[in-house]
Structure 1
Amino acid sequence: MEHKCANKLEQISQEDWGKTPTSVKKLVEEMAQQIEQQEKKIAEVLTAQEQLLEKINQTSKNSSLPPSSDPPGFGKKQPKQKSSKKRGGQAGHKGNSRDLYPIEECSEVIDHHPEECANCGASLTGVDTNPYRHQIVEIPPISPIVIEHRLHQLTCSGCRTKTRAKLPEFVNPSGYGVRVVALVALLSGVYRNSQRMVQSAMLEVFGISISLGTVNKLRHEASNALGCCVDEAKHYIQSANIVGADETSFNQGNIDGFNPEQRKAWLWVAVTPLVTFFEITLTRCTQGAKNLLGENFSGILNSDRHGAYNWVDLERRQLCWAHLRREFIKISERPGVSAQLGTALVKQQEKLFELWHRVRDGTLSRDDFGELVQEIRSSIRATLLEADEYQITAREKTPLAKTVRTCRQLLKVEAAIWLFVTTPDVEPTNNAAERAIRPAVIWRRTSFGSQTQAGSHFVARMLTVVTTLKSQKRNVLEFITQAVVAARGDNTPPSLLPQVTPCSDDSELLKAA
C-alpha cells in the first residue's frame, strides 16, 4: 500500500509541478537547499565528533603517547588469586646475597673463635680453614685534598722592579682538579641534578665550596674534553651494519644567540649494541637524519615511519612493528569498515609475534619461520589492498578516510616491514632506540631543556658517554676523569669504542651488554 501511494504521489508531483505557482516552487527550492546545508553541517559535526572521540580515546596502546599519559586504571590486569605459599624464598630456591670484597681489599680482618662447645661446654681448639665471612662496609670521612701554590714576588736590587712567580704549565688556572671536574659532570649529566643541587652536594658530601658559575664552567670543560670521544663514537655509528634511530623534541633557548628564531630543538639518537650516539639539532627534517647517520650511510636502519628517514632505501630499512601494532589497534577501534580491517591486521600481527617469540626462544628455526610468515604477509597485504580500493576525497576526514590513507602509506613501505624475517640480528621493533632515549626525555622534563647551544652539547655528549659506557660495563667517572686529564695535557683522549682484549671478542662483549 505504501509503495503504491509513493508512486502515486511521485506521478502527481511530476504532472502538477509545471502547474505549481512560481512562489511555491521558489519556497520548495529554498527548503531543499536548507535541508542540503543542514545535512552537510550534520555530517561535519558527526565527523568532528568522531575525531574528538578518537583523540580522547588515545592511549599508549594505539598512539605514540607514553604510558604515563594513560588514564587511571587503564590496562590494569585482573588481580591474581592469592597464593597459599608464604612470603619469601621457597624451598629449593637459590638465595642471593651481596658480594663480598676480596680479602686483600679489606682494611682490617678480625677473627672470632668460639671458646667452648655450644652443646657440652668443652674447650675448643683448632683452626677453621673456611670461616663464615661477615663484612662491614663504611665510607671514611671525606675531606678535599688542597694543594696550595704560593707565587712569591721579589724586588730587583738593581732596577727595583717587582716580579711575581708564574704558575707552572701543569697547574690548571681554574683552581679545581680533574676529578672535581669529572664529579661535577657526573652529578649533572648522569644523575641529572640541577646546578644548585650539584653545588650543594659538592659542599655537603665532599666539603668543596663552589659557585654556580664555576659549576657551569666545569660542566663546559668536561663537555669539551669529551668532544673528540663523542665524535669518534659518531663515526663508529655511521659505519655500523645495523643502526636503530629515533628522535624526540627538546627545548633550547637563545641566551647565546644561536637560536634567534626560537625554533624547537630535536634530540636524535642512533643505537648499536655497544655504542650509542646522541645529537641535538634545530631540525627534524631529512638533513637532521643525514647528520646523524651520515650522508653515505650504507647499513640497515631500524626506525619508525618518520619521513626524515625516507632517503634510506626500503631494502635497507626495518620499520618498527610496535608502531605498526599501535596503528592497527587505532584502526580497529574506529567504527564500521575500519574496525573489520583493523581487527584483521591485529590478528595477523599477533600470529607473527607468536612465531617470532618461538624463534627468539630457539623453538622455531629461521627457515621454518620464513615459510610460515609468507601466509601472514599475504594476509596483511590483502587487507591493505582491500582498504586501498575504497574511494575517498582529498579533504575527507572520516574515520574510513583516515584508515584508507594509513593503509596506502603502509603499502608504499610494505617491503621495509619484513627485513627482520630474512636478516639475522635485525630486530622487528625499534625498542632499543626508544629505551635509550627515555633518560633524555626524563632529563628534558626535569630541566626544561637547555638555554644555550653549549648546554645542548653537554646534554648530548653526556648521554652518549653514559649510555655507551653502561652498555660496555665501564666506569663513567673514571672515563670522564681520563678525558679531562687528556684535554688538560694535550694527550690522546680515551675511546668510547668497545675495548677488545686478547681473551675476548665482539660476541662476548655483546653477550655481556
Structure 2
Amino acid sequence: MELELPDDTESLKAMVRRLLVEIEQLKAKNAELEAKNAELRSRLDQDSGNSHKPPSTDGLTKKPALPKTKRSNSGGQKGHKGNTLRQVSEPDHIICHYPEVCSCCGKAFHYEQIEIMSKRQVFDLPPQRLIVTEHQLGQAICDCGHTETGTYPSHITQPAQYGAKVRALGVLLSVQYRLPQEQISQLFIDLYGYSLNTGTVIHALDTAYTQLQSTETHIKNQLLQEKVVHYDETGLRVAGKTHWLHTACSAQYTYLFVHPKRGQEALRSASSIIKDFQHYAVHDCWASYFAFTCFHVICNAHILRELTALIEQGSVWASLFHTFLLDCYQQNIAKESVEVRFSEIMIQANREEPFARKIPQARGRPKKTKGRSLLERLIHYKVSLLAFMFDSDIPFTNNQAERDIRCVKIKMKVSGGFRTTQGAHAYARIQSVISTLRKQNINVFDSLCILFSESTSDLLCLTAK
C-alpha cells in the first residue's frame, strides 16, 4: 500500500513534522520496552552473586562471596592444633584379650607368661538412664515443745519433676539445635524411656526467658560500648503474620529482638540499641539506619553483588569499581591513591549512567536505572563505603550480622514459624545468650544448668567466674 503524498509544500512539511514527532515517541517507547526486557532478563539470571538472593537458592553452583587469596591443600593445615581423639591414662574399664593356648604345641599359658604388647581404647556413651534423686522433708520436736520443719530447695516445687539438666537439654535442643517439640519428646523416649512432653519444654523456655532478662541487659550494655557493631534484620512468621528479627552483634556479643516492623518504628523502639549507639554501625545500607547519628559503615559484599549484576549487562565502570574494591580489600592499592582512583571511576560512571530523561507526557519523575541508583549511592556514602581502608578495626563486610541471624532462617525451614509472639521473643533472647556464650568459649549446657538450678541475676558474670 503506497502512501499518498500531498502536492503542496506546506502539507508535506506538516506531514514531516508529524512523522518526526511519532518517530521520537516510538524511540522513547522502544527504549522503555528494551529497558523492561533487560530488567526481566536480569531477574532470570539472579543468584546470590549478583543479587540479594540467599546462597541456598544457587543449588550446586555456589561460589564464595570474596575471592580466596591462596589455594591450600585439603585437610589439616600446617600448625593446625586439631582435635584428634587421644588415649587417656586412666580408662573406666579394661578388657584383656590374652592368648589361651600355644598354637604350635597346644600348651596353656599361665598368667605370669602374658605381657601387654599394645592397647586400644574405645570411647562410647554411658548407659542412658535418668538419675532419680528423692528429697525428703524432715521434722523435729525440740525439748521445749517447739516443732521445726526443714525446707525444700527453691527449685524443688513439685512431687515429681525434671531436674535442671533435663530442662537445660530441652531448651538447648529447641533453640540452638532447632528441633520441633515432638522430636524432642521422641528423642527422650529413645534415649531415656521418658516422654518429655511439650508443656515441660515450653515451661522451661518461659523460665529461661524470664531469668535471662538481666543477662540480655548486660549484653546490650556491652554492645553500646563496642567500637564496631553489626546490624541486620530478616523476616519471620509469628502467629501467622510477618515479623522481623533484628540483630546487633560483635565478635563477643549477640543481641536479637523481634518486632512487627522492619524500619524506624522498630529501630526506635525500647528493644533497639542503635538509637543510643554512638560508634561504628555496619549495615547493608538500609535507609532507616541512616536516621541515627552514629558513624555508618556499608557492607561491601552487597555492593560487589550489585556491581556483578551490572557487569553481566556490559557495564565498564562497574567492572572497574569491582576491581577497585577488591584491590582495597586485598590492600593492593595505597591509601593515598584511593580518593584519586575513586574519582576517576566516578567520572567514567557518569558518562555511562546519564541522568534519566523525562518521557513526554509521562507522569511523575523519570525512573533511574539500577546503575544510576548505585552510582549516586556510592558517591553519597563514599566515606561509609571506604571506611575499612583507613581503620583496621572496621570490617569489609557485614558477615558477622548475617552469620548471627542465619540461625532463624534454619529455624523457619524446620518449623515454619512461631505459633505465638511470646515464643518468638523467648527464642530471640535465649539465642542471644547462647550465641554470646559460644563466642566467649563458655560451655552452653553447663551455663543453662546453672540457670535452672541457681537464682542468678547475670548468667554471663556467673559463668565467667
Instruction: Give the direction of change, closer, same or farther, for the CA distance of 1:125–1:179 in structure 2 (3 Å limit).
Output: same
Question: For the Cα contact (< 8 Å) 1:302–1:317, is it kept in 2?
Answer: yes
Instruction: Give the direction of change, closer, same or farther, for the CA distance of 1:149–1:451 in structure 2 (3 Å limit).
Output: same
2:232 & 2:80 partners in 1: Cα distance? Answer: 40
Correspondence for 2:256: 278
1:95 & 1:418 partners in 2: Cα distance? Answer: 36
Correspondence for 2:370: 402
1:88 & 1:243 partners in 2: Cα distance? Answer: 33
State the shift of 1:170 in Å: 4.7
1:306 & 1:107 partners in 2: Cα distance? Answer: 57
Q: 2:387 aligns with which of 416, 419, 422?
A: 419
Q: 1:54 aligns with which of 42, 57, 60?
A: 42
State the shift of 1:334 in Å: 2.6
Which structure 1 segments of 5+ residues have no match?
1-11, 77-84, 116-122, 153-164, 255-261, 357-367, 502-513
Instruction: Give the direction of change, closer, same or farther, for the CA distance of 1:317–1:193 in structure 2 (3 Å limit).
Output: same
Q: Deviations over 1:338-369 (max 9, x none)?
A: x122122122223223326xxxxxxxxxxx84
Correspondence for 1:118: none
2:335 & 2:76 partners in 1: Cα distance? Answer: 42
1:373 & 1:132 partners in 2: Cα distance? Answer: 64
State the shift of 1:372 in Å: 4.6
Give 3-state SS (helix, strand or coil) of 2:256's partner. strand
Q: 2:329 aligns with which of 330, 348, 353?
A: 353
Question: For the Cα contact (< 8 Å) 1:469–1:496, is it kept in 2?
Answer: no
2:353 & 2:171 partners in 1: Cα distance? Answer: 54
State the shift of 1:182 in Å: 0.6
Question: For the Cα contact (< 8 Å) 1:182–1:477, is it kept in 2?
Answer: yes
Q: Deviations over 1:181-229 (max 9, x none)?
A: 1111011111110000011111211222232233322222222232322
Correspondence for 2:447: 479
Correspondence for 2:105: none
Q: Does 1:306 align with 2:289?
A: no
State the shift of 1:416 in Å: 0.7
Question: For the Cα contact (< 8 Å) 1:387–1:407, is it kept in 2?
Answer: no
What is the alpha-carbon root mean square deviation over aligned residues?
4.1
State the shift of 1:246 in Å: 1.4
Instruction: Give the direction of change, closer, same or farther, for the CA distance of 1:245–1:484 in structure 2 (3 Å limit).
Output: same
2:62 & 2:151 partners in 1: Cα distance? Answer: 68
Q: Deviations over 1:99-143 (max 9, x none)?
A: 336435x3235688999xxxxxxx999999xx8653221222221
Question: For the Cα contact (< 8 Å) 2:230–2:398, is it kept in 1?
Answer: yes
Give 3-state SS (helix, strand or coil) of 2:281's partner. strand
Structure-to-structure mapping, 1:29-428, within 5 angstroms: 41-70=29-58, 73=61, 98-100=84-86, 102-104=88-90, 106-109=91-94, 134-147=120-133, 169-173=154-158, 175-253=161-239, 262=241, 264-290=242-268, 291-313=271-293, 316-335=295-314, 339-355=315-331, 369-386=334-351, 390-393=355-358, 395-397=365-367, 401-428=369-396
State the shift of 1:53 in Å: 0.7
The alignment's TM-score, normalised by the length of structure 2, stands at 0.77
The alignment's TM-score, normalised by the length of structure 1, stands at 0.71
Give 3-state SS (helix, strand or coil) of 1:355's partner. coil
2:317 & 2:9 partners in 1: Cα distance? Answer: 47
State the shift of 1:414 in Å: 0.9
Question: For the Cα contact (< 8 Å) 1:420–1:426, is it kept in 2?
Answer: yes
State the shift of 1:95 in Å: 11
Question: For the Cα contact (< 8 Å) 1:181–1:218, is it kept in 2?
Answer: yes
Correspondence for 2:361: none
Q: Could you tell me which amino acid in structure 2 is paired with residue 349 of structure 1?
A: L
Q: Deviations over 1:158-195 (max 9, x none)?
A: xxxxxxx9977552238222111111101111111000
Give 3-state SS (helix, strand or coil) of 2:434's partner. helix
Correspondence for 1:494: 459
Q: Deviations over 1:36-90 (max 9, x none)?
A: 76655544432321110111111111111112212654759xxxxxxxx9x9999
1:191 & 1:328 partners in 2: Cα distance? Answer: 36
Instruction: Give the direction of change, closer, same or farther, for the CA distance of 1:99–1:179 in structure 2 (3 Å limit).
Output: same
How many percent of aligned residue pairs carry the same amino acid?
25
Q: Deviations over 1:414-436 (max 9, x none)?
A: 11112112213211111122122
1:243 & 1:434 partners in 2: Cα distance? Answer: 12
Instruction: Give the direction of change, closer, same or farther, for the CA distance of 1:138–1:72 in structure 2 (3 Å limit).
Output: closer
Give 3-state SS (helix, strand or coil) of 1:270's partner. strand
Question: For the Cα contact (< 8 Å) 2:290–2:296, is it kept in 1?
Answer: no
Question: For the Cα contact (< 8 Å) 2:236–2:417, is it kept in 1?
Answer: yes
Give 3-state SS (helix, strand or coil) of 1:277's partner. strand
2:367 & 2:404 partners in 1: Cα distance? Answer: 36
Instruction: Give the direction of change, closer, same or farther, for the CA distance of 1:132–1:378 in structure 2 (3 Å limit).
Output: farther
Q: Deviations over 1:257-286 (max 9, x none)?
A: xxxxx4x21111222111111111112112
Q: Could you tell me which amino acid in structure 2 is paired with residue 403 of structure 1?
A: G
1:473 & 1:480 partners in 2: Cα distance? Answer: 14
